[in-house]
Amino acid sequence: MKAGLLRRRLAAALGAAMRNREAEAIALVADRTKATAVALAGVADDAEVELAELDMPTRAVASVLGYHPEHVRRLIRSGRLHARRVGGDYRVRVDDLWPLIDARHGQPGRRRPQQPR
């Protein structure tokens, strides 16, 4: 999919959520849109992107989640956030952020995603 098309779809999804007027739906779509848009930063509109392969560095993940970068690194080292090591930093796929983003909009008091046992 072309990056420009993906950006237009993100804008349309956010617009649809805004018309829905349900606070939780708007917040969830806004957080998912933000994560994907940050991963697309610097990518040309005509560039071909694979949604499952979009990733971002630790600092960008921290910005999306509203955490300090060191907290993101702790989440990675503890296994609560999947990442791969590239050079001296980690890269996190956007798809791996969904459980953390979804947990924010789930039931109160249940912020951490369940770990498989």
Overall average pLDDT of the 43-64 stretch: 93
Q: How much of the chain, in percent, has pLDDT values that exceed 90?
A: 62
Flag whether pLDDT at 108 surpasses 80. Answer: no
Total-model pTM: 0.79
Q: 72 is written with which tokens?
A: 């993101």
Per-domain residue ranges of the chain: 3-104
pLDDT attached to residue 90: 96
Q: Is 86 exposed, middle or buried (0-12, 13-18, 19+ CB in 10 A)?
A: exposed
